[in-house]
Chains A and B, each alone.
Chain A
Amino acid sequence: MATATGTRLFGASEKRREDPRFITGRGQYVDDVKLPGMTHAAFVRSPHAHARLKRVDTAPARAVPGVVAVYTAQDVKVGALPCGWMLPDIKVPPRPALASGKVRYVGEPVAVVVGETAYAAKDGAEAVRVEYEALPGVSNPRKAHDKGAPQLFDDIPQNQCFYWTIGDKAATEAAFKSAAKVVVQPLRNQRLIPNAIEPRACVASYAPGTGDLTLWVTSQNPHVHRLLMAAFILGIPETKMRVIAPDVGGGFGSKIFVYNEEVVAAWASRALARPVKWTAERRESFLNDAHGRDHVTEVEMAFDRGGKITGLRVKTHANLGAYLSTFAPLIPSYLYGPLLSGVYRIPAIFCEVWGMLTTTAPVDAYRGAGRPEATYLLERTMDRAADDLGVDPAELRRQNLIPPFTGGTPYQTPVAFAYDSGNYEPALNRALELSGYAKARREQEEGRKRGRYIGIGVSTYIEACGPAPSAVAGSLGAGAGLWESGQVRVHPTGAVTVYTGSHSHGQGHETTFAQLVADQLGIPMAQVEIVHGDTAQIPFGMGTYGSRSACVGGSAILMSLDKVKAKGRKIAAHLLEANEQDLVFEGGKWSVKGSPGKAKTWGEVSLMAYLAHNLPQGMEPGLEATSFFDPPNFTFPFGAHVAVVEVDSETGQTKLLKYVAVDDVGRVINPMIVDGMVHGGIAQGVGQALWEHGVYSDDGQLLAATMMDYALPKADQLPSYETERTVTPSPVNPLGIKGAGETGTIAATPTVANAVIDALAPFGIAHIDMPLTPDKIWKAVKAARK
């Protein structure tokens, strides 16, 4: 395995190289793309959660000035949108690009209108007449399981898409039989709607002369988009399709997936031989972006007399929505169950999941994806248990921690995962210390006497990042490998272009990857260009999600750097008439040990590689390398967070007073960027705990379909955060990186929820389901006071 050497820039908070274009308004996002002859698409969407499509009358729309064409499922003959992850005995309902026969969620596209302008297309969409025969809907995944519940698909009885288990059922039952104490906690992990600030968008441009199709799309993984669309949906050679994901304004998972709109736009561009653009209105983002979470869960945790956890039993109804989004089955199964051990030694775990279809928008990965759900139930239940057992919640956690294992021997959990490296207590200790935990407890005690309700919440977490060993993923149902590509092309001047299969939509790869490259080659960052997001330029790559870019994508780049350096060393040795072993590469040049005057710079060697006038016997000219890194295991970042809140018992309003995060993400290339990701993750996690909720009515109307109804965190609702790190390098990649993209979101939700419930302890309130809005808290306090 390659190794990372050089530390000049690795670990430095370099300012981001991408920022000058963003702060001057010169970013190039998909909606900024403008092509000659470009048309605009607008979609007609179902207002019903569940209905039979009786008739779609497109004639009135065709008569609208500026309308170019109107298409329905009758016209758009393409393959179903595929699902890329299979589970045993899963039932996969076909997901059409445009609804046919039936609609199954509010917002499902029924027809598309193409216009000369976006305004004309929207006029046309309003003119399309659709006759529906409304059917009853169901939005709750447990109710969807009832006999007699509205049935989405004739051949999927009781709407059960899959049943999945992990762990040892018998051992877990035995643990519960002999338990001294059992804590039971039913809970709901509510539906979230991702809301990247850039709405999804696409521009499809078909060239009739060559048959080439170019698609600009807001994607976190352009090659995955190309593969699924070309091979499964459009049925064209991959070589005839180019996918470009330029500047992308946030993703948080929602831009991983292949959606109806880009499929229809691509088809329409071919049909019309004109470019077709579609940009979501925010309401469309709410209706048709893949949502996150939405579990109904029962947790039971068994303890011995000493307060040690002996068993964990989990039953979850996971809402998948009306159809399977691209990776939907993965999230409530392998990204959920295997996380249930957390950072604790739990001898026996058994988890059952019912994957349920409901008349709601499809649910898939949203920042954290499965891991926040696991962490929330574990950490909420730990607080419940501490309360029941009469011990301090931080202490209960400490006494159940897995002891340190940093020497390369993994920790095997009872739910499949083998953690790469971990040292959990220092992070917990540091978080408690930074937050002034003991003092906060005293202030809480004092305050309660005066009717001031302070709450202190603690949460540890673990997450699985850097997916994944491809062979393992394949054995678990993945329709893809999960390696990453990294290509290094050295130019004759010694400047370097790096092509990465990772995609940056806020992560700052143009900076962090350049730091890595400049360090390894001893050249200035200005000599390094990072290219991503264009299938015509980069080798096949898997994209960015699961906090994988630095640990998997960065490692692939490192492998290629090692290859060009190895070839460069041979050229340098040849030019210096020295033995390769006698050369030292430092500061961008090879010099002969003992005679520092004898040296060849990186630039000189690069030039010779292309001049090829004087190369070692038999060596090919040129200097470039392509590598694919397939990690031997996931990485497992971890940490501990503490929040201090104050709850107003009269209004139910929660104020977040302090937030402390101590994370261990392994080695860090750019601390400023990692801190930034942690901050943003915390805000999203707090959002789930306190405000955000994708509310559907019982029969499937989305009641939170605008930013007025769905409460995204705002600047004046949040404090500044205190962040620190411990560093436990990962042994499963040469950079020692564990990944940092999702930690904040995973930890912040239980941390803040625990803090609020802790504040309400004097009222005897033991649990409220999220989001912990003033309304719910006020009602709970009022009920308790009766």
Chain B
Amino acid sequence: MTLPVKMTINGTNYRHEVEPRMLLVHYIREVVGLTGTHVGCDTSQCGACTIILNGQAVKACNVFAVQADGAQIMTIEGLAKNGQLHPIQEGFWEKHGLQCGFCTPGMILAAYQLLERYPKPTEAQIRHQLEGNLCRCTGYHNIVKAVQYAAEKMAGR
């Protein structure tokens, strides 16, 4: 059995027939073909699959594609506009907030929501807001610095 879904991802409209059990992250990766959203754990602990769904940072491995019918979605591929990196992306690059890069898309989009909630976050707020995203490479030190960089940059513009 399949069901029809339609959604807007990074400004483009998609319309497909999918199995009701298909996870949103698999829809994005396998059907739409946007592979920047990663799967690290399938069970909502690691946060590598974080996307922005209707304005909320959501772990796409815990949503069925059919549940996102009609949704507005932004994935990591949609964050930079007209070839211009978003300040969070800049921050991760400037402050060496990534090593292997696998957790990075999810981490960046979790930080995106964090900065909407706390435009001038303390270190403790940054760490608390990112506790749902696991990184095994950086020990989080430079991720915190990257978010602080982005916060300053975003406050200045």
**A197-B102, A252-B136, A506-B100 are known contacts. Are A25 and B93 too (CB-CB below 8 A)?**
no
Give the docked Cα–Cα distance between A477 and B75 (Å). Answer: 49
Q: Which positions 122-139 of chain B face chain A at CB distance < 8 Å?
A: 123-124, 126-128, 130-131, 133-139
Q: How far is the CB of A660 from chain B (nearest CB, A)?
A: 13
Q: Is the CB of B139 within 8 A of A680?
A: yes
Within 8 Å CB of A713, what residues of B? 139-140
Contact assessment for B136 and A250 in the assembled complex, using a CB-CB cutoff below 8 Å: yes
Interface residues of B in 97-137 (CB under 8 A from A): 98-105, 108, 123-124, 126-128, 130-131, 133-137
Q: Which A residues lie within 8 Å of B134 (CB)?
A: 197, 707, 712, 714
CB-CB contacts of B34-47 with A at 8 A, as 1s and 0s? 11111111110110
B77's closest neighbor in chain A, by CB?
A25
The reply on A29 being an interface residue by CB < 8 A is yes
Question: Quick one: CB contact mask for A483-523 with B, threshold 8 Å, 1 for yes?
Answer: 00000000000000000000001111000000000000000
B100 engages A250 (CB within 8 Å): yes
Q: Are B94 and A29 in contact (CB under 8 A)?
A: no
Q: In the complex, are the beta carbons of B46 and A197 less than 8 A apart?
A: yes
CB distance from B100 to the nearest CB of A (A): 3
Decide: B131 and A716 in contact? CB cutoff 8 A: yes
Which chain A residue lies CB-closest to B35? A32
Known A32-B35, A679-B139, A715-B126: A199·B131 in contact at CB below 8 Å: no
The residues of B that contact A716 with a CB separation of less than 8 Å are: 124, 127-128, 130-131
* Contact string against B for A residues 277-313, beta-carbon threshold 8 Å, 1 for contact and 0 otherwise: 0010111000000000000000000000000000000
| Interface contact B139-A718, CB-CB below 8 Å | yes
Known: A706-B45, A712-B134. A16 touches B139 (CB 8 A): no
Contact status B96-A672, CB under 8 Å:
yes
Alpha-carbon separation in the docked complex, A294 to B133 (Å): 27
Taking a contact as CB atoms closer than 8 A, the residue among B43, B101, B131 that contacts A707 in the complex is B43
Q: Which residues of A contact B144 (CB under 8 A)?
A: 715, 720
Contacting residues, chain B, for A32 (C-beta < 8 A)? 29, 35
- Are the C-beta atoms of B138 and A27 separated by less than 8 Å? no
| Other-chain contact of B140, A23, A250, A683 (Cβ < 8 Å) | A683
Complex: how many Å from CA A252 to CA B94?
24
Q: Is the CB of B46 within 8 A of A25?
A: no
Task: Confirm or deny: A388 has a beta carbon within 8 angstroms of a beta carbon on chain B.
Answer: no
Q: Tell me the bound Cα distance from A199 to B102 in angstroms.
A: 10
Q: Which of A639-684 contact B (CB under 8 A)?
A: 672-673, 675-677, 679-684
Cβ of A721 under 8 Å from chain B: yes
A18 to B101, CA, bound (A): 9
Name the residue of chain B whose CB is nearest to the CB of A748: B139
Tell whether A24 pairs with B103 under 8 Å between CB atoms, given A196-B136, A506-B137.
no
> How long is the Cα–Cα vector from A281 to B100 in the complex, in angstroms?
19
Contact, CB under 8 Å: B39 / A26: no
B59 vs chain A, min Cβ distance (A):
12
A25 touches B141 (CB 8 A): no
Complex Cα gap A720–B142 (Å): 9
Residues of A within 8 A of B77 (CB): 24-26
Write the nearest CB–CB distance from A764 to chain B, whole angstroms: 33
Whether the Cβ atoms of A507 and B99 lie closer than 8 Å is yes
Q: Is A173 an interface residue (CB 8 A)?
A: no
**Highest count of chain B CB atoms <10 Å: which of A15, A22, A247, A507:** A22
Q: Is the CB of A250 within 8 A of B93?
A: no
- Is A197 in contact with B40, judged by CB distance below 8 angstroms? yes
Which residues of A from 537 to 557 have beta carbons under 8 Å from B?
none
* Nearest CB of chain A from residue B13's CB, rounded to whole Å: 20
CA distance A676 to B139 in the complex (A): 8
Q: How does the 8 Å CB contact mask read for B73-92 relative to A, with 1 for contact and 0 for none?
A: 00111011000010001001
Question: Chain A CB within 10 Å — which of B89, B101, B104 has the most?
Answer: B101
A719-732 interface bits toward B, Cβ cutoff 8 Å, 1 = contact, 0 = none: 01100000000000
- When each residue 688-723 of chain A gets 1 if its CB lies under 8 Å from chain B and 0 otherwise, what string results? 000000000000000000111000111111101100
List residues of chain A with CB within 8 A of the CB of B99.
Answer: 250, 506-508, 676-677, 680
User: Are A22 and B104 also in contact (CB < 8 A) when A673-B96, A708-B43 are?
Assistant: yes
Query: Looking across the interface, which residue of chain B has its beta carbon closest to that of A194?
Result: B136
B16 at the interface (CB under 8 A from A): no
Q: Are B94 and A15 in contact (CB under 8 A)?
A: yes
The answer on a CB contact under 8 Å between A24 and B138 is no
Taken together as a complex, chains A and B put the C-alpha atoms of A682 and B79 apart, in Å, by 31
Contact B136 A712 (CB under 8 A): yes
B48 CB within 8 Å of chain A: yes
Chain A positions within 8 Å of B141 at CB level: 676, 679, 718, 720-721
Contact A29:B126 (CB < 8 A) given known A282-B41, A715-B133: no
Distance from B99 Cβ to chain A, minimum over Cβ atoms (Å) = 4
CA distance A247 to B137 in the complex (A): 14
| Complex Cα spacing A706 to B19, Å | 26
Partner of B42, one of A281, A507, A672: A281
Q: Are A197 and B93 in contact (CB under 8 A)?
A: no
| B108 and A23 form a contact (CB under 8 A) | yes
B22 CB–A CB distance under 8 Å:
yes
In the complex, which residues 8-52 of chain B have their Cβ closer than 8 Å to any Cβ of chain A?
19, 21-22, 26, 29, 33-43, 45-46, 48
Q: Mark interface residues in A750-761 (1 if CB within 8 Å of B CB, else 0).
A: 000000000000
Whether, in the assembled complex, A195 has its beta carbon less than 8 Å from a beta carbon of chain B, the answer is: yes
The one of B33, B92, B100, B104 in contact with A248, judged by C-beta atoms closer than 8 angstroms, is: B100
Once the chains bind, are B93 and A27 in contact (CB under 8 Å)?
no
With A119-B19, A506-B99 already in contact, 14 other A-B pairs whose C-beta atoms are closer than 8 Å? A19-B92, A24-B80, A27-B102, A197-B40, A248-B100, A250-B100, A281-B42, A282-B42, A508-B99, A672-B96, A675-B96, A707-B45, A707-B134, A716-B128
Q: Please list the residues of chain A having a beta carbon within 8 angstroms of any beta carbon in chain B.
A: 15-16, 18-29, 31-32, 34, 118-119, 195-199, 247-250, 252, 279, 281-283, 505-508, 672-673, 675-677, 679-684, 706-708, 712-718, 720-721, 744
9 A-B pairs within 8 Å (CB atoms) are namely A24-B36, A25-B75, A197-B38, A198-B100, A250-B136, A673-B96, A707-B41, A713-B140, A744-B139
Q: Which 8 A-B pairs have the closest CB atoms?
A: A25-B36, A249-B102, A22-B101, A683-B139, A506-B100, A25-B76, A506-B99, A707-B45
Q: Which residues of B contact A (CB under 8 A)?
A: 19, 21-22, 26, 29, 33-43, 45-46, 48, 75-77, 79-80, 85, 89, 92-94, 96, 98-105, 108, 123-124, 126-128, 130-131, 133-144
